[in-house]
């Protein structure tokens, strides 16, 4: 019962806006909020691994987000120019194009993640201040590289033809891209839970976070696992970036910056290291933003911050955080 | 009564005027003082006073990050509070007077102190890293507020206040020793004096018993707490003190530039600059802020001129973008500095000096 309390509170709060609007509007907003929350979760899930689990303050997460978006952007452009997969009306070709973009984003970000972890993060494990500084430096470099390779201006992200527009389910408007994002977010959530709690790799990583030396004594190369986790987190950031770019239909070099703050807020609300926590946190942020933006447009800007402050006041370790 | 600390302090005081650092600081102040008299170009004067302003801002940040060990991302916000408070108070109530100027500073300081205490009170209890995130969120919020609440803050266009009396552009105080005394010159010396005074206050602050307690918290919080140091309270005192100093510096900035907008005074980019400056100068050195500010501001002034190199490199598009993006070079340099000189310029120099002194002492003994 005690473990379910936060979930109940969240449910009660989610139903609260019904007092101020029609049910149909409420449903539309809820779907939009869920979608936004899932998009945020895609980014935050990577940060949960890197910041929550490994305790590395990775400010380069935003830059990896942008890199993922740009890698996918290039893949989609190439496919469209070469084979016309994006503009073709065929659902299958469209899906393939999107999958290819996701694969490109994941590959690029995974490689970048391995390099980042090996070169600049490994020497500063356990030193928060240096992690912040050095990943900030990496962010500057990565963002500038984007500006050099792809140019400094915003560009239009082509969206596969069958994913444009929206479905109308009983007067509730469901945009297609966010609907795909919701599916992806759920898949990532399930995958992460399985990986962390049902596999040997997950066991070793979780043990390695608790006591790295002990795991090494048992004969596991803990650093290799950490490199893997970091790269996985980077890849998740890239997927988030790509979906965000598809959702917004544009890419820009600095797009990762504001998302990074969102992601940090979500990870803190959810509790460090808890995947479920960041899912709930992301949904809370997404939903409350949409409700408040409808009811009191001016107040929407401060809603995330208020949410974080409130959660930290009530539960200093976050919603699902273990009290370490 | 002679305590060990008292004895050590007396020995320190006796040695004070024989140490090179005091003379170096006086020399730096002297240099700042003669710049506008010797070099007539506005660019040089502007650079000099901005180094003083940002040096003081970075030093106040160093009190938080270097001497107390708290990572804050909201420091630029307090700078912005000062800038906006002065700009609003001077610019929004008819003809500006000295009273308005003073009132602006006082209101800015009061607001900053209140918000710093508030932020500290609910975020420092938990975990230091939460403080970083909450200050970041607050700073972001303040930036958005300044852009959105344009009826008060002027939005993205910002405010350009006119200063009263001797600080006004039009002020003409005749000539003293053949040098024309203008409003700009008076402002220069006023701001320089305020920055110098702030440096002295901060140096006193970190060397006081309170400052020593803060360093104890930074080095080992559990131990400090076990020794009876009220860690939570002192951390709040330190961050509020630094915030108020940053607010005063922000007011000075507006007095010199006579312009404030959200990007130049409140935003995350400014915070990044301050972070870079504190690293370059050296964390936990206080005076390193001046060096960091000097390096970064000078580089920012000179590096864009590198664009001419692009034509030498053959003028291809990639080469051109490469030279346009001097920030890239800067980012790489920054990472290298953090890796190889984690103590910054001043910290590394101090370490080298201490090592030589120890080697010398070993030879004598």
- pLDDT tens, residue by residue, B258-267: 888 877 777 7
The band of B226, judged by pLDDT with boundaries at 50, 70 and 90, is confident
Q: Please report which confidence band the pLDDT of residue A251 belongs to, taking 50, 70 and 90 as the band edges.
A: confident
Q: Which residue of A152, A264, A316 is in closest CB contact with B126?
A: A316
Mean pLDDT in residue range B206-227: 86
CB A225 within 8 A of CB A114: no
User: Residue A168, SS3?
Assistant: strand
- Alpha-carbon span A181 to A245, nearest angstrom: 11
Could B134 and A144 be called an inter-chain contact, meaning their C-beta atoms sit closer than 8 Å?
no
Secondary structure (3-state) at A317: coil
Tell me the three state secondary structure of residue A38: helix
Give contacts of B 111-140 with A, CB under 8 A: 122-123, 125-130, 132-134, 136-138, 140
Grouping H, G, I as helix, E, B as strand and the rest as coil, residue B155 is helix
CA-nearest of B142, B155, B94, B96 to B116 is: B142
Give pLDDT, residue A324: 44
- Which residues are CB-contacts of B226 (< 8 A; sequence separation ≥ 6)? none
Is the Cβ pair B338, A312 closer than 8 Å? no
Q: How far apart are CA B188 and CA B37, in angstroms?
A: 11
Instruction: Report the pLDDT averaged over residues B283-306.
Output: 81
| DSSP-assigned letter for residue B159 | B
> Which pLDDT score, from 0 to 100, does residue A108 have?
93
Which of B197, B166, B156 minimizes the C-alpha distance to B52? B197
Residue B324: band (very low, low, confident or very high) from pLDDT cuts 50, 70, 90: low
Q: What is the pLDDT of residue A87?
A: 66
E strand map for chain B: 172-176, 179-182
The chain A residue lying nearest B135, using CA atoms, is A305
| Bridging pattern class, strands A172-175 and A166-169 | antiparallel
Q: Give the model's confidence band at A97: pLDDT under 50 very low, under 70 low, under 90 confident, else very high.
A: confident
Half-sphere exposure of B138 (CA within 13 A, CB side): 24
pLDDT, tens only, A254-276: 888 778 878 888 888 888 778 88
A24 touching chain B per CB within 8 A: no
Residue B181 phi, psi dihedral angles, 5° rounding = -95, 110
pLDDT score at B245: 93
For B37-95, what is each residue's pLDDT tens digit? Answer: 777 777 888 888 889 999 999 999 999 888 888 888 888 899 989 888 888 888 777 67
| Tens digits of residue pLDDT in A169-206 | 666 667 777 788 888 889 999 998 888 888 888 888 87
Residue environment code for A52-84, b if the CB has 16+ CB neighbours within 10 A, otherwise e: bbbebbbbbbbbbbbbbbbbbbbbbeebbeeee
Q: How far apart are CA B109 and CA B315, in angstroms?
A: 51
Using a CB-CB cut-off of 8 Å, the residues of chain A touching B71 are 128-129, 132
Q: Which of A140, A305, A316 sits opposite B334 (nearest CB)?
A: A140
Q: CA B294, CA A289: separation in Å to the nearest integer?
A: 42
Taking all residues of chain B, what is their mean pLDDT, rounded to a whole number?
Answer: 80
Query: Angle CA(A186)–CA(A188)–CA(A191) in degrees, nearest 5?
Result: 110
SS3 of B139, please? helix
Mean per-residue pLDDT, B23-43: 79
Instruction: For residues B168-197, give the mean pLDDT.
Output: 78
From the list A120, A158, A157, the residue with the least C-alpha distance to A139 is A120
d(CA B162, CA B169): 8
Confidence at residue B305, expressed as pLDDT on a 0 to 100 scale: 63
According to DSSP, residue B172 is labeled E
Is B247's pLDDT higher than 90?
yes
Residues with Cβ within 8 Å of B266's Cβ and at least 6 positions away in sequence, in order, are: B76, B77, B79, B80, B83, B84, B139, B142, B143, B146
Q: To the nearest whole angstrom, how far is the Cα of A279 from the nearest Cα of chain B?
A: 19
Cβ burial of B36 (10 Å; 0-12, 13-18, 19+) is buried
Least confident of A91-95, B101-105, B335-339: A91-95
% chain B with pLDDT above 70: 86
Mutate to test the interface with B, among A51, A128, A135, A136 (most CBs of B within 10 A): A136
What's A117's DSSP letter? I
Least confident of A288-292, B24-28, B318-322: B318-322
Residues 6+ apart with CB under 8 A from B26: none
Asked if A281 contacts A87 with a C-beta cutoff of 8 angstroms, the reply is no
Nearest to A109 by CA among A38, A54, A160, A43: A43
Nearest CA in chain B to A145: B328
Nearest CB to A137 within list B129, B136, B338: B338
For CA atoms B347, B348, B352, B353, the dihedral sign is negative
User: How far does the CA of residue A123 sit from the closest CA of chain B (Å)?
Assistant: 9
- pLDDT recorded at residue A1: 46
Residues in chain A closer than 8 A to B138 (CB atoms): 305
């Amino acid at each position: 019962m005690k473990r379910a309390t936060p979930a109940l509170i969240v449910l009660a709060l989610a139903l609260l806006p019904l007092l101020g609007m029609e049910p149909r509007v409420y449903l539309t907003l809820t779907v939009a909020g869920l979608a936004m929350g899932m998009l945020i979760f895609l980014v935050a899930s990577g940060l949960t691994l890197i910041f929550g689990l490994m305790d590395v303050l990775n400010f380069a997460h935003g830059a990896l987000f942008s890199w993922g978006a740009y890698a996918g952007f290039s893949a989609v452009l190439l496919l469209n120019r070469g084979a016309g997969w994006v503009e073709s009306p065929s659902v299958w070709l469209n899906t393939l194009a999107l999958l290819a973009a996701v694969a490109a984003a994941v590959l690029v970000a995974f490689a970048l993640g391995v390099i980042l972890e090996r070169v600049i993060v490994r020497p500063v494990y356990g030193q928060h201040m240096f992690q912040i500084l050095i990943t900030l430096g990496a962010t500057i470099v990565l963002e500038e590289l984007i500006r050099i390779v792809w140019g400094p201006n915003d560009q239009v992200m082509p969206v596969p033809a069958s994913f444009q527009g929206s479905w109308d389910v009983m007067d509730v408007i469901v945009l297609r891209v966010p609907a795909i994002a919701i599916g992806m977010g759920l898949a990532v959530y399930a995958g992460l839970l399985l990986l962390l709690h049902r596999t040997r790799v997950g066991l070793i990583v979780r043990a390695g976070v608790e006591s790295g030396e002990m795991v090494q004594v048992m004969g596991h190369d803990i650093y290799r696992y950490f490199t893997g986790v970091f790269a996985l987190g980077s890849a998740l950031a890239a997927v988030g970036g790509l979906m965000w770019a598809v959702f917004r239909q544009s890419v820009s070099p600095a797009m990762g910056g504001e998302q990074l703050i969102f992601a940090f807020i979500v990870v803190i609300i959810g509790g460090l290291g808890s995947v479920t926590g960041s899912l709930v946190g992301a949904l809370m942020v997404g939903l409350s933003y949409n409700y408040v933006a409808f009811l009191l447009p001016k107040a929407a800007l401060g809603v995330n911050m208020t949410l974080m402050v409130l959660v930290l006041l009530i539960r200093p370790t976050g919603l699902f955080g273990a009290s370490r | 009564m002679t305590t060990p600390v008292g004895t050590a302090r007396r020995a320190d005081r006796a040695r004070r005027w024989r140490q090179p650092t005091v003379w170096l600081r006086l020399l730096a102040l002297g240099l700042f003082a003669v710049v506008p008299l010797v070099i007539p170009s506005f660019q040089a004067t502007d650079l000099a006073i901005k180094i003083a302003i940002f040096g003081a801002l970075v030093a106040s940040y160093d009190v938080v990050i270097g001497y107390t060990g708290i990572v804050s991302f909201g420091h630029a916000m307090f700078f912005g509070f000062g800038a906006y408070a002065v700009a609003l108070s001077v610019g929004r109530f008819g003809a500006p007077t000295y009273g308005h100027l003073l009132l602006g500073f006082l209101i800015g300081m009061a607001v900053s102190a209140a918000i710093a205490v508030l932020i500290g009170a609910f975020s420092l209890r938990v975990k230091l890293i939460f403080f970083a995130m909450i200050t970041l969120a607050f700073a972001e919020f303040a930036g958005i507020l300044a852009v959105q609440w344009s009826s008060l803050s002027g939005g993205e266009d910002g405010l350009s206040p006119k200063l009263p009396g001797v600080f006004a552009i039009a002020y003409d105080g005749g000539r003293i020793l053949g040098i024309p005394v203008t409003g700009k010159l008076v402002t220069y010396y006023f701001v320089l004096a305020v920055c110098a005074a702030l440096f002295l206050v901060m140096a006193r602050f970190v060397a006081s018993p309170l400052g020593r307690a803060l360093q104890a918290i930074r080095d080992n919080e559990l131990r400090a707490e076990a020794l009876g140091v009220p860690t939570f309270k002192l951390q709040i005192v330190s961050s509020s003190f630094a915030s108020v100093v940053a607010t005063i510096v922000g007011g000075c900035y507006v007095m010199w530039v006579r312009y404030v907008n959200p990007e130049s005074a409140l935003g995350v980019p400014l915070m990044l600059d301050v972070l870079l400056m504190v690293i370059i100068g050296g964390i936990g050195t206080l005076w390193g802020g001046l060096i960091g500010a000097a390096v970064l501001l000078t580089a920012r002034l000179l590096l864009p001129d590198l664009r001419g190199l692009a034509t030498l490199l053959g003028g291809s598009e990639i080469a051109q973008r490469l030279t346009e993006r001097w920030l890239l070079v800067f980012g790489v340099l920054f990472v290298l500095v953090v890796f190889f000189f984690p103590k910054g310029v001043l910290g590394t120099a101090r370490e080298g000096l201490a090592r030589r002194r120890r080697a010398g002492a070993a030879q004598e003994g």
